[in-house]
Amino acid sequence: MSPVAENKWVKVSQKGAGPGPRSSHALAVVGNKVYCFGGELKPTIPIDNDLYVFDLETQEWSIAPATGDAPFPCFGVSMVPIGSTIYVYGGRDDSRRYNGLYSYETLTNKWELLSPVEEGLPGRSYHSMAGDDRKVYVFGGVTAKGRVNTLHAYDVVDRKWVEYPAAGEACKGRGAPGLVVVQGKVWVLFGFDGNELGDIHCFDLASGEWTAVETTGDVPPARSVFPAVSSGKYVVIYGGEEEPHELMHMGAGKLSGDLYKFDTETLVWEKIVDGTEEEKKPSPRGWCAFAAVVKNGEEGLLVHGGNSPTNERLDDLVFWSFSS
């Protein structure tokens, strides 16, 4: 089913002790629970390493019980679920110390360090992650040596990293692109290399080949730090930073509040009409946490927090349904 061409944002009420205002954090959904980890309230200062959990039915936050080796407080972190397990990788603290790859098993509430940065993938922040039923894909990000354009996957069955062919010079090293797996292909959308990038690249997992993709339609302006999720053959993106602030990460830049959907077969973009009443529209934002979710039987995009045009961190939770 194609995400509908027009809809409205729904503000989700929040009860309980939630994560509060923050940006550069991550969400992952397991069943009817939304997990939130990492983030910053002030630029480059991580807040905590609590794992917050939001019940989609009761709409209440709590802090997940946890044992084992947890990641340290960080921002610029990513996480994806496979089955009942959440995989958390990367992110850094204010001294540029990076987290390795961790798992959190929601059935036992236990953290486990799977791959330290000294032994596995070099540490990074503002990378992007996506998953399928067996692999956690990691693209790009900012390492101690700068921005990279590499694609790796962690095989959760074999418990080891897999390295794929490099993306090549056409795909510059970048931070905070969109990363989505659709029908056996990994899509890299936009990102930041010191400037906002507007290019799209696709890696075919079967052939092992990269392709630079030319698109048509309502092509979005270049951007980074934005939500990107899949819905069937479509990719849906929202918001992000279209122009950096002169203070870079210390400022907000030009932030978007627009939604677009991209057909990965026809390679055509369509701008989605936001029918939300003006006074109820969520603030434009970037650096927000997001996940695809099923809420009240409807598939859609769930977004928490992020940075606003005033450089104030947001703490709202909003939902955009892909169905009418």
Confidence of residue 252 (pLDDT cuts 50, 70, 90): confident
Q: Is 313 a catalytic residue?
A: no
CA–CA distance, 302 with 289 (Å, rounded to integer)? 8
Q: Which domains does the chain carry?
A: 6-321 (2.120.10.80)
* Predicted pLDDT of residue 1: 61
> CA-to-CA distance for 81 and 214, rounded, in angstroms?
31
- Catalytic residue selected from 22, 124, 147, 223: 147
Residue burial 121-136, b: 16+ Cβ < 10 Å; e: rest: bebbbbbbbbbeeebb
Q: For this structure, is 22 an active site residue?
A: no
Backbone angles phi, psi at 304, to 5 degrees: -120, 130
Arithmetic mean of pLDDT, 161-179: 96
From 92, 124, 285, 313, active-site residue = 92
pLDDT value for 284? 97
Q: How far is CA 273 from the centre of its chain?
A: 22
Percent of the chain exceeding pLDDT 70 equals 99
The pLDDT, as a whole number, for residue 2 is 84
Per-residue pLDDT at 5: 83
Q: Of all residues in the chain, what percent carry a pLDDT higher than 90?
A: 93
Q: Give residue 287's pLDDT band: very low, low, confident or very high (50, 70, 90).
A: very high
Query: Using CA atoms, how far apart are residues 255 and 86, in angstroms rounded to an integer?
Result: 29
